[in-house]
Amino acid sequence: MFEIRCPYCGPRDEPEFKYGGQAHVAYPADPELLSDEEWARFLFVRDNSRGRYAERWNHAAGCRRWFNVIRDTGTHELVGSYRVGEQPEDAR
C-alpha cells in the first residue's frame, strides 16, 4: 500500500483510490479514418514500460475526482500528482 497525494484532498492511503491506467491517451481526432490496426492500437494497446509512468487515479472514497500521478512502475515511488489539464512537469 502506498500514499497518493490527491491534488484536491491531499495525501491519502491507496485503498481510497481507483486506478485508471495510462494517462494522456487521446481519443482519435478522426476515428472513422483509422484502419483496424490503428483502432485496435487505440482500444487495446497501452504503454507497459518499467520506470516513470503517467497514470490516472480516481479519489473514489474522497472527492471522487480524476487526476494524474507520476509513479515509478519498477519501485512504486510516487513522484507527484497533477490535475487533469495540467502536464506531467506540473506534478508535485
Partner 1 sequence: MELDPNEHALHNAPFLWRTPEPKKSYEAIIVGGGLHGLATAYYLAKNHGMTDIAVVERGWLGNGNAVRNTTIIRSNYLWDESAAMYEHALKLWEGLADDLDYDVMFSQRGVLNLAHNLHDVRESIRRVEANRLNGVDAEWLDADAVKEFCPIVDISPEARYPVMGATLQRRGGIARHDAVVFALGRAADALGVDLIQGCEVTGIDVVDGRVAGLQTSKGPIAAGKVGLVAAGRTSLLTAMAGFDLPIQSHPLQALVSEVYEQVLNCVVMSNAVHVYVSQAHKGELVMGAGIDAFNSYAQRGGLHVIEEQMSAGMELFPQFSRARVMRTWGGIVDVCPDASPIVGLTPVENLYVNCGWGTGGFKATPGSGWVMAHTIATGEPHELNRPFSMTRFETGELIDEHGAAAVAH
* Dihedral sign, Cα of residue 58, residue 62, residue 63, residue 68: negative
Binding mask 40-59 for partner 1 (x = CB under 8 A): xx-xxxx-xxx--x-x----
Which three cell numbers mark 5? 497525494
Q: Would you count residue 71 as binding partner 1 (CB under 8 A)?
A: yes
For the chain, first and last CA: distance in Å? 20
Round to whole Å and give the CA distance between 56 and 88. Answer: 12
Which of positions 1-40 make contact with partner 1 (CB under 8 A)?
1-2, 14-15, 18-19, 21, 36-37, 39-40
DSSP secondary structure code for residue 23 in this structure:
S
Contact between 72 and 51 under an 8 Å Cβ cutoff? The reply is: yes
- Comparing CB distances to partner 1, the nearer of 9 and 73 is 73
CB of 4 to partner 1, least distance (A): 10
Per CB under 8 A, residues contacting partner 1 are: 1-2, 14-15, 18-19, 21, 36-37, 39-41, 43-46, 48-50, 53, 55, 71, 73-76
